Amino acid sequence: MEYNIALIPGDGIGPEIVAEAVKVLDAVAEKYGHTFNYKKFLMGGCSIDVYGESLTDETLEEIKTYDSVLLGAVGGNVGHSNWYEIEPSKRPEAGLLKIRKGLGLFTNMRPALLYDELSGACPIKSELTEGGFDFVIMRELTGGLYFGDRYTKTIDGLRTAVDTLSYNEEEIRRIAKWAFEIARKRGKKVTSVDKANVLDSSRLWREVVHEVHADYQDVELEDMLVDNCAMQIVRDPKQFDVILTENMFGDILSDEASMVTGSIGMLSSASLGATKLGLYEPSHGSAPDIAGKNIANPLATIASAALMLKYSFDMEEESKAIEDAISQVLKDGYRTVDIYTEGTKKTSTTEMGDLVVERLK
Ligand code: NAD
pLDDT in tens, 221-252: 999 999 999 999 999 999 999 999 999 999 99
Q: Which atom of ligand 1 is nearest to the CA of 14?
A: 40
132 shares its domain with 240: yes
Residue 182 CB partners (closer than 8 Å, separation 6+): 109, 136, 138, 242, 311
156 shares its domain with 259: yes
For residue 95, is it within any domain? Answer: yes
CA dihedral defined by 248, 288, 344, 350, rounded to 10 degrees? 110
CA-to-CA distance for 325 and 130, rounded, in angstroms? 21
Query: How far, in Å, from the CA of 26 to the mean position of ligand 1?
Result: 26
Query: How far, in Å, from the CA of 259 to the mean position of ligand 1?
Result: 14
Query: Above 80 in pLDDT, residue 78?
Result: no
Closest residue by CA, ligand 1 atom 34: 75
For residue 69, is it within any domain? Answer: yes
319 shares its domain with 213: no
Write the single-letter amino acid at 116: D
Closest residue by CA, ligand 1 atom 24: 285
Q: Which of 18, 108, 284 maximizes ligand 1 atoms within 8 Å of its Cβ, making it the mutation to test the pocket? A: 284
Of 213, 227, 225, 244, the C-alpha closest to 136 is 244
Range of the domain at 284: 1-103+277-361
Burial status of residue 76 (CB atoms within 10 A of its CB: 0-12, 13-18, 19 or more): buried
124 shares its domain with 245: yes
- What CATH number should be reported for the domain holding residue 287? 3.40.718.10
151 shares its domain with 260: yes
Give the pocket of ligand 1 (CB within 6 Å): 13, 73-76, 93, 96, 264-265, 281, 284-290, 296-297, 300, 338
Q: Which atom of ligand 1 is nearest to the CA of 281?
A: 41
Closest residue by CA, ligand 1 atom 42: 285
Q: Which of 244, 267, 290 is the last residue of a domain?
A: 267
pTM over 0.85: yes
Write the single-letter amino acid at 216: Y
Name the least confident of 52-56, 77-81, 344-348. 77-81
Would you name the residues annotated as active-site residues? 146, 195, 227, 251, 255
Q: Which of 220, 244, 267 is the last residue of a domain?
A: 267
144 shares its domain with 214: yes
Closest residue by CA, ligand 1 atom 4: 287
16 shares its domain with 142: no
Write the single-letter amino acid at 327: S
CA-to-CA distance for 148 and 301, rounded, in angstroms? 32
Predicted local confidence at residue 22, as pLDDT: 98
Q: Which of 232, 267, 302 is the last residue of a domain?
A: 267
Decide if 270 contacts 59 (C-beta within 8 A): no
Predicted local confidence at residue 131, as pLDDT: 83
Query: How far, in Å, from the CA of 284 to the mean position of ligand 1?
Result: 5
**Residue 163 confidence class, pLDDT cut points 50, 70, 90:** very high
For residue 111, is it within any domain? Answer: no
Predicted local confidence at residue 77, as pLDDT: 74
289 shares its domain with 219: no
Burial profile 85-111: b = 16 or more Cβ within 10 angstroms, e = fewer: eeeeebbbbbbbebbbebbebbbbbbb
Query: How far, in Å, from the CA of 74 to the mean position of ligand 1?
Result: 9
Query: Above 70 in pLDDT, residue 80?
Result: no
289 shares its domain with 253: no
Predicted local confidence at residue 6, as pLDDT: 98
123 shares its domain with 263: yes
CA-to-CA distance for 180 and 151, rounded, in angstroms? 36
Q: Which atom of ligand 1 is nearest to the CA of 284?
A: 2
CA-to-CA distance for 138 and 228, rounded, in angstroms? 17
Decide if 135 contacts 190 (C-beta within 8 A): no
Domain count, the chain: 2
